[in-house]
Amino acid sequence: MNSILQHDLNDLENILEKAKRQGIDFLNNLENIPTSNNNKIDPKRDLNNLGLGSEKALKEFKERLAPLLVSSPGPRYWGFVTGGSTPASIVGDWLATVYDQNTQSVTSQGGNSALIEFETINLLLQLLELPDSFLGGFVTGATMSNFTSLAVARQWFGKQFGKDFAKNGISETINILTATPHSSSIKSLSMLGIGSQNYTVVKTIEGNREAIDLADLELKIKELNGKPFILISSAGTVNTADFDDFEAISNLKEKYNFWWHIDAAFGGFAAVSEKYKGYVQGWENADSITIDCHKWLNVPYESAFYLIKKAHVNLQIETFQNSNAPYLGDPLENFNYLNVLPENSRRLRALPVWFSLVAYGKEGFCDIIEKSTSLALHFGNALIEDGSFELLAPIRLNNVCFTLKGDENQDKVGEFLTKLNDTGTVFMTPTVYQNKKGIRASFVNWRTKEEDINIVLEEMKLLI
């Protein structure tokens, strides 16, 4: 063994203690670490011939690299839709690394870590009150979940014409209908060879809505003259957290032949709260659903899952099977993850979620969801009261989409947000909503408190 590796091995406990210390110092200081910074490094660092060993690498990380990092798991990072790791999720994430399992298969590769993924999906179905007619798996984010779901939808579409697109490539125009798709679904259409421009935009409901207009949807369906299609619908749009009417779409399922995908990256968690579960009523009738865990479940990044109806498992295997060997027997009995999703070798990605669900239970997550939504309302009301701001849309859930009051101030929105983000006190995302420049604050993080909102409002008043 290389002598430096040998030294690290002998010194493992000390090294991990130091890494833990580094992590705890960061977490305990999240409130004071800025949400943005302009620190830079020259990334052309020379590779050492003789390694430094972990301890010195950690020292270099602390001095050179850590200053690049921001308080994104902290309470005032309201950009995008970003959670922050809870204690239990950190435990799960650390242990996933330590145990370093390959979760691609249930039995044949030695080790049964895939059963932990099965169990975690089952716990998630219980959390979201979804039936076990779904088969789920973990991927790195909602983008990959949309990709995985739409890949199976693509295979389904071919089968409606008696064709196997997975084997022979796409040879029919694939009809896609959608109203307010997330950019990652469009990216998925590009990655899937369907084409990022090849979809039909369905109108949204008149007025200040991003949800699909059902009359227009039915009109566009009729224009397809009985041809099959894929519907990409939304449970939580990023600007205004709007939801399509899933009961109504369920009814359309009775009349027309389509694959129904729901991007519920963050909005799916509405199901956890009695107050908001009405938003997703009927979603169990979808063919596939995308949900992110590194958002409202507050686990570290690279955690999302897809749910695809078990009835479609053969299509899923046709799409993702790793060898061309025909499947023998019941596909669910010989189940291996590497045959149903994009990756082959993969980490035990489910573990942070497993720890979170076991540690905090349904109530823990219900509290996070309801607290986030009440903070969003609190912030929205404070903006209105202030008089310098206006909401661009009503607050349905956890996202606040607002702008500087008055059309004459549209030019100032960008500069205002840049200055605000530069304070490092808070981070929000620029957006455009109904042709207006706006700002989006998303409440997702379990650490955020009323106090944080007051701190941010003070900063905003200074800059206006």
Ligand X SMILES: *Cc1c(COP(=O)(O)O)cnc(C)c1O
Q: Which residues bind ligand X (CB under 6 A)?
A: 81, 141-143, 182, 184, 236, 238, 263, 265-266, 292, 304
CB of 227 to ligand X, least distance (A): 27
Minimal distance, residue 290 CB to ligand X, in Å: 7
H or E element in which residue 307 lies: strand 304-309
Nearer residue to ligand X within complex by CB, 116 or 304: 304
Nearer to ligand X, 106 or 368 (CB): 368
* Helices assigned H by DSSP within 29-107: 54-60, 87-99
**Between residues 244 and 318, which has the closer beta carbon with respect to ligand X?**
244
**Shortest distance, CB of residue 28 to ligand X, whole angstroms?**
27
Apex 212 CA angle, 227 and 129, nearest 5: 95
Q: In whole angstroms, what is the distance from residue 338 CA to residue 97 CA?
A: 20
Residue nearest to ligand X (CB): 141
Strand 258-263, strand 389-391: pairing:
unpaired
The identity of residue 169, as a single letter, is G
Closer to ligand X by Cβ: residue 212 or 317 = 212
Q: Which helix (H) or strand (E) element contains residue 200?
A: strand 200-201
Say if CB 117 and CB 138 are below 8 A apart.
Answer: yes
The nearest distance, CB 306 to ligand X, in angstroms, is 12
117 versus 292: smaller Cβ distance to ligand X: 292
Q: Are 47 and 39 in contact (CB under 8 A)?
A: no
| Residue among 57 and 191 whose Cβ is closer to ligand X | 191
**Nearest residue (CB) to ligand X, 127 versus 304:** 304
Q: How far apart are CA 341 and CA 315, in angstroms?
A: 11
CA proximity to 175, closest of 221, 234, 244 = 221
Comparison of 317 and 400: residue with beta carbon closer to ligand X: 400
State in angstroms the smallest separation of the CB of 42 from ligand X.
29
Q: Are 393 and 433 in contact (CB under 8 A)?
A: yes
**57: its two tokens:** 């690498």
Place of tokens 């973990």: 138
Minimum CB separation of residue 141 from ligand X in Å reads 3
Rounded to whole angstroms, the Cα distance separating 258 from 247 reads 15
Q: Distance between CA 291 and CA 192 in Å, rounded?
A: 20
Cβ 144 to ligand X, closest distance in Å? 6
Three-state DSSP at 463 gives: helix
Shortest CB 238 distance to ligand X, Å:
5
CA distance 21 to 433: 43
Rounded to a whole number of angstroms, the minimum distance from the CB of residue 81 to ligand X is 5
Q: What is the dihedral of CA 69, 70, 71, 76, to 10 degrees?
A: -170
Q: Is the Cβ of residue 120 or residue 234 nearer to ligand X in the bound state?
A: 234
